[in-house]
Structure 1
Amino acid sequence: MATNILKVENLKVAYGGIQAVKGINLEVNEGELVTLIGANGAGKTTTLKAITGTLPQCKVEGEMHYLGEHTKGMTSFNLVKQKLAMVPEGRGVFTRMSIQENLLMGAYTRDDKAGIAADIDKWFGVFPRLKERAAQMAGTLSGGEQQMLAMARALMSHPKLLLLDEPSMGLSPIMVEKIFEVIRSVSAQGITILLVEQNAKLALEAAHRAYVMDSGLVTMSGNARDMLDDPKVKAAYLGE
């Protein structure tokens, strides 16, 4: 039986009088790549921020368990120490630090110097562009290069759960393909992933299971490949 990594039950999030998330349930099991798709404004990013404790002042209700522990009152810093990492929408790299320094920041909860150095070499192998520019300030990189760096930085923490928020947003088609190649590779290594993504086709092709969000509600869930052939999903999200 699969080990449950994340379980969200009846999550509700309200900003003032606006109910952004209206009581959703989702779960992610060890080794899975689960995707959350939906139109802009559906509540996907708010859901990820609720999971990571990074929402601004708002009302959050419901139950969230990570590695079997209730996350209520747990700070985002403590969640990182518990091996939960997130690549936020917009990438969020440290622009005035070098690529090398950004990667070291990703490993700040670790103290195995040899292992950290080996991991930097590993991700430089996956993203040779980053290696070429190791001493360059992150703020001078292109959007695609910053996305590579944000993913590598998150992976430096050896996450048990990796949250990805719109990793393809604003990137060229070639760069989108590269990013998804890495996502599939990371998943194949057994790292558990929850992916929020606007490119529904690529997300469903990469994922094991999927949830569809619409106006703050989960309207569908199931096998990701099956959803690729679902007429409602095709019409709403795949342009078919």
Structure 2
Amino acid sequence: MSDTKQNEVLLQVSGLTVAYGGIQAVKGVNFEVRRGELVSLIGSNGAGKTSTMKAITGGLPCGGTISYMGKSIRGQGPWDLVRQGLAMVPEGRGIFTRMTIAENLLMGAYVHDDKDRIDADMERMYTLFPRLKERHQQLAGTLSGGEQQMLAMGRALMSRPQVLLLDEPSMGLSPIMVDKIFEVVNEVSSQGVTVLLVEQNASRALSIADRGYVMESGLISLSGPADQLLHDPAVRAAYLGEG
């Protein structure tokens, strides 16, 4: 890939604001995600991370500029964005509980109609998540939290996104399942999908990221190479229980 292509900014957020009634949850946030990057947005609960993600995907009214591939996407719904190559795995997963695993995955491919390639995508998801293959005819609502998270990620990947947004994928999961989720995020990134990862688990998020942004009280307080942030004394004290 050429340097120009590699450095192309796919997602750019400038001056983003989100308010709930009189409360300003996001206060003018700026960040960017370049092609091929895995970028982590970290911060404590209530920092404004999920509000930022919802604003990007049209789930909340907002101010500022949100650009994807150089064009404004502010106010567009998730279904519009999926067609353009931007897919989100929301906090809470949002799977279809009364559908089977296989049916949920196929719902992720609704923007495509090339059956052979969809079948190949299904097999790829089952390779990535062997547990889903074992249970493919099981109702999604009967899965464990970790299995539901795998399914939500698989469903998003079925749309063949250029950019994958992940909102708190490890929340509420067992340590062994957290390991699996981060392993898959790393694998997806290594296959060329651009990833924006929102996480409270700062050490795990930064350990697999290229760059990171730290969000506090609705603002970006720090940014830089992920490894640099991982060893920053302020970050370690605030998010890694050190100092």
Match of 2:31 among 23, 26, 35: 26
Structure 2 residue runs without a partner (length 5+)? none
Distance 2:72 2:128 in 1: 35
* Alignment-derived partner of residue 117 in structure 1: 119
Normalised to the residue count of structure 1, the TM-score between the two structures is: 0.97
- Number of equivalences: 237
* Alignment-derived partner of residue 37 in structure 1: 42
Distance 1:75 1:182 in 2: 26
* Alignment-derived partner of residue 220 in structure 2: 218
* Alignment-derived partner of residue 238 in structure 2: 236
* Alignment-derived partner of residue 200 in structure 2: 198
Which deviates the most, 157-166 or 68-77? 68-77
Distance 1:78 1:90 in 2: 21
Distance 1:74 1:121 in 2: 31
- One-letter identity of the residue aligned with 1:183: V
* Alignment-derived partner of residue 100 in structure 1: 102
- One-letter identity of the residue aligned with 1:121: E
Q: Say which SS state the counterpart of residue 137 (structure 2) adopts.
A: coil
Distance 2:174 2:38 in 1: 23
Superposition RMSD on alpha carbons, in Å? 0.8
Identity of aligned residues (%): 65
* Alignment-derived partner of residue 9 in structure 1: 14
Once the two structures are TM-superposed, the CA of residue 80 in structure 1 deviates from its matched residue by 1.1
Distance 2:153 2:197 in 1: 12
- One-letter identity of the residue aligned with 1:6: L
* Alignment-derived partner of residue 49 in structure 1: 54
Task: Please list the CA deviations of residues 144-177 of structure 1 after superposition, one character each: whole Å capped at 9, or x if unmatched.
Answer: 0000000000000000110000000000000000
Q: Say which SS state the counterpart of residue 218 (structure 1) adopts.
A: strand
Normalised to the residue count of structure 2, the TM-score between the two structures is: 0.96
Q: Say which SS state the counterpart of residue 234 (structure 1) adopts.
A: helix
Spell out structure 1 runs of 4+ moving beyond 4 A.
Answer: none
Q: Say which SS state the counterpart of residue 131 (structure 2) adopts.
A: helix
User: Within the alignment, does 1:80 sit opposite 2:85 as a pair?
Assistant: no
Distance 1:76 1:184 in 2: 24
- One-letter identity of the residue aligned with 2:80: N
Once the two structures are TM-superposed, the CA of residue 87 in structure 1 deviates from its matched residue by 0.4
2:78–2:87 contact (8 Å) kept in structure 1: no
Distance 1:31 1:77 in 2: 23
Structure 1 residue runs without a partner (length 5+)? none
* Alignment-derived partner of residue 172 in structure 2: 170
User: Within the alignment, does 1:140 sit opposite 2:142 as a pair?
Assistant: yes
Q: Say which SS state the counterpart of residue 158 (structure 1) adopts.
A: coil
